[in-house]
Structure 1
Amino acid sequence: MKKADVLVVDDEHKIREVVRMYLEKEGFSVGEAADGREALNKISAGKWDLVVLDLMMPGVDGWAVCREIRKTASLPIIMLTARDAEVDRIVGLELGADDYVVKPFSPRELVARVKAVLRRTRDGQKDPGEADQASLSYPGLSINPDSRLVLVDGKSVYLTPKEYELLYQLAKSPNRTFTREELLSTVWGYDYFGDARTVDTHINRLRDKLVKISGRTSFIATVWGVGYKFEVKNELSQ
């Protein structure tokens, strides 16, 4: 299998050096960028399998880089930050980051997370046999697994990879309640390092996008104390 190409973006040379050493030891091909602008230039110029992205950088920060990446690509992103505030983690996840690591961190743990994210991307981001899955269609909503195109009232809606996977997982089993733990396991993978609040953050973001286009109540219902379900009401089928 081809070596995975990982771009490490951090304004601290020592951190880039340590991360590079540990990743190369595990067989990864590693590139470096010292700031957000250099990162965007290298991302546009080459093909990368994953980006390790520091949030707090002068000039173009990690949030801006993440936004630019997500405008055109589903490139996996692991964010690094020295701040452990919950709002930072939530903003990062809402922007489409796949994982979040707080400094100071163990290089071995970071390598484990890189492997886990790449494994999900290559082997588990799509459900086994997803290419053979049927399109889903409900009044006001359709999902095409081949193109990952989601239409709400005939209008396309941009979803991050995880938002799409959550929607598809829920919609393919209408009215079935999924616990947060089930969704974490299915969408993020059993070895995800995060917690159940990750699901809540993505569900809220997904709901906002669906409601913004449809102008009506979201298709996703909260089952208090349990989790979420894709709700097919009588009025949706009329």
Structure 2
Amino acid sequence: METDTKILIVDDEKAIVKMLEMMLKKEGFQHIYTAHTGKDALGIINNNEVEIIILDVMLPDGSGFDLCPRIRQLTNAYILFLTARVSDLDVLTGFATGGDDYVTKPFNPLEVAARIKAYLRRNKVTASVPKHESTNRFDFGRFTLDESAGELLVNGELVSCPTQVYLLLLYFCKNPNKVLSKSALLEAVWGFDSYVDDNTVSVHIRRIRERIEEDPSHPKFLITIRGLGYKLIKGS
């Protein structure tokens, strides 16, 4: 399987970069960029349409957590953190700064490939919806999600939306007024082969609310159903 997907690997450990590069090329990914510092990574992102970024947390010129928001100013690419940190706080920090997924070191490089392929499959399904279908535009009054254009509009203004945040909101839009459990959301949006946990859903729910709600602390659209999950409210 050969793919045109452009991938950037950011890690100061050259052996890890080389290992990932070789493995990804073996899996059919031929367009791979590499960087060993945050500065070099930003330069590559500025000059190329990178779709997937494998980002180490510990870099010689700063933290990947600090770099991630700067990357988000440039692209909505899928960001997969590589981290030796395994505490809940570290994982939540990665998601809160704009990451989409994470793998803990030491890791099996095939796991990284599996995460990337799972993401690409989900993205392909989303992109394959025919544009003439009336169901590809979801209007909730304050905000509209246009599936065919891959755009979120809030009060008529285009709002930046990282991939996993977009896919989660899209799933809610396709299932309005239904209570969806965290486990159901993990299965539907992240896939069977994802190792993310319940905290992932909580953080991404917050990121959605920050975009669509007038007051994210008192949501009117994406509400919590205590003990059961979440529900996206759509009036008749």
Shared fold per TM-score greater than 0.5: yes
Contact 1:141 / 1:152 at 8 angstroms: preserved in 2?
A: yes
Q: Secondary structure at the match of 1:72?
A: coil
Letter aligned with residue 210 of structure 2: D
Contact 1:220 / 1:231 at 8 angstroms: preserved in 2?
A: yes
Instruction: Supply the distance in 1 between the matched residues of 2:130 and 2:185 (Cα, whole angstroms).
Output: 17
Letter aligned with residue 139 of structure 2: S
Name 2:9's counterpart in structure 1. Answer: 8
Please state how far the C-alpha of 1:56 moved relative to its aligned partner.
1.1
Q: Secondary structure at the match of 1:178?
A: coil
Instruction: Supply the distance in 1 between the matched residues of 2:42 and 2:214 (Cα, whole angstroms).
Output: 30
Please state how far the C-alpha of 1:38 moved relative to its aligned partner.
0.6
Instruction: Supply the distance in 2 between the matched residues of 1:3 and 1:154 (Cα, whole angstroms).
Output: 33
Letter aligned with residue 93 of structure 2: V
Name 1:22's counterpart in structure 2. Answer: 23
Q: Would you say how many aligned residue pairs link Structure 1 and Structure 2?
A: 232
Instruction: Supply the distance in 1 between the matched residues of 2:98 and 2:151 (Cα, whole angstroms).
Output: 17
Contact 1:96 / 1:162 at 8 angstroms: preserved in 2?
A: no
Name 2:199's counterpart in structure 1. Answer: 197
Name 2:99's counterpart in structure 1. Answer: 97
Distance 1:24 1:219, change over 3 A: same
Matches within 5 A, 1:89-168: 89-121=91-123, 123-124=124-125, 126=126, 128-129=128-129, 131=131, 132=133, 133-168=135-170
Sequence identity, in percent? 34
Distance 1:130 1:72, change over 3 A: farther
Letter aligned with residue 144 of structure 1: D
Matches within 5 A, 1:45-64: 45-64=47-66
Counterpart of 1:87 (choices 79, 86, 89) is: 89
Letter aligned with residue 9 of structure 2: V
Contact 2:7 / 2:53 at 8 angstroms: preserved in 1?
A: yes
Contact 2:114 / 2:193 at 8 angstroms: preserved in 1?
A: no
Q: Which moved more, 1:32-41 or 1:204-213?
A: 204-213
Letter aligned with residue 195 of structure 1: D
Contact 1:36 / 1:57 at 8 angstroms: preserved in 2?
A: yes
Counterpart of 2:40 (choices 35, 38, 41) is: 38
Name 2:72's counterpart in structure 1. Answer: 70
Structure 1 length as normaliser, TM-score? Answer: 0.83
Contact 2:213 / 2:219 at 8 angstroms: preserved in 1?
A: yes
Contact 2:145 / 2:151 at 8 angstroms: preserved in 1?
A: yes
Please state how far the C-alpha of 1:10 moved relative to its aligned partner.
0.5
Instruction: Supply the distance in 1 between the matched residues of 2:4 and 2:152 (Cα, whole angstroms).
Output: 33
Contact 2:154 / 2:211 at 8 angstroms: preserved in 1?
A: no
CA displacement, residues 138-185 of structure 1 (integer Å, 9 cap, x when unaligned) = 343333323344344445443322222222322333211112222222
Please state how far the C-alpha of 1:39 moved relative to its aligned partner.
0.9
Instruction: Supply the distance in 1 between the matched residues of 2:49 and 2:74 (Cα, whole angstroms).
Output: 13
Letter aligned with residue 137 of structure 1: D
Q: Gaps spanning 5+ residues in structure 2: where?
A: none
Structure 2 length as normaliser, TM-score? Answer: 0.84
Q: Secondary structure at the match of 2:197?
A: coil
Letter aligned with residue 19 of structure 2: V
Please state how far the C-alpha of 1:41 moved relative to its aligned partner.
0.9
Q: Secondary structure at the match of 1:67?
A: helix
Contact 1:54 / 1:79 at 8 angstroms: preserved in 2?
A: yes
Root-mean-square deviation (Å): 2.6
Name 2:190's counterpart in structure 1. Answer: 188
Please state how far the C-alpha of 1:100 moved relative to its aligned partner.
0.0
Distance 1:216 1:41, change over 3 A: same
Instruction: Supply the distance in 2 between the matched residues of 1:14 and 1:28 (Cα, whole angstroms).
Output: 19
Instruction: Supply the distance in 2 between the matched residues of 1:9 and 1:42 (Cα, whole angstroms).
Output: 10
